[in-house]
Amino acid sequence: MRTVTVRDIRNNFSKVEAWLGEGEEIRIEKRGKPIGFLSATSRSGAHDLAKPDFAARLKKIWGDRVFSAEEVAAMREAELEGEEG
């Protein structure tokens, strides 16, 4: 396991990235104290991540009602007029 400082990561990230590419596990230190670890992900594992379904999230929050840009602008304008008056 290699050890690097926060400064090493900031100034020499390409070297740290190369170590990760070689499968090294890296311990990160700040002022001599460990603050974290970096380890490479498997190449095949990176493709297994599920993409978020934003349409499903939107439907869960708002149901079938989705506001158009014009409706949102009108609601914002009405809200601002209410704050001023």
Q: What is the pTM of this model?
A: 0.48
| 3 state SS of 74 | helix
pLDDT tens, 47-80? 667 889 998 998 898 888 878 899 999 999 999 9
Domains and CATH numbers, the chain: 2-46 (3.40.1620.10), 54-84 (no CATH)
pLDDT at 31: 93
CA 15, CA 5: separation in Å to the nearest integer? 12
For 43, 50, 51, 53, the CA distances from 47, given in Å and listed in that order, are 7, 8, 10, 16
pLDDT at 63: 86
Given a contact cutoff of 8 angstroms between Cβ atoms, the answer to whether 61 and 38 are in contact is no
pLDDT tens, 2-47? 999 999 999 999 999 999 988 899 999 999 999 999 998 876 555 6
Helix (H) or strand (E) holding 16: helix 13-21
CA 37, CA 84: separation in Å to the nearest integer? 52
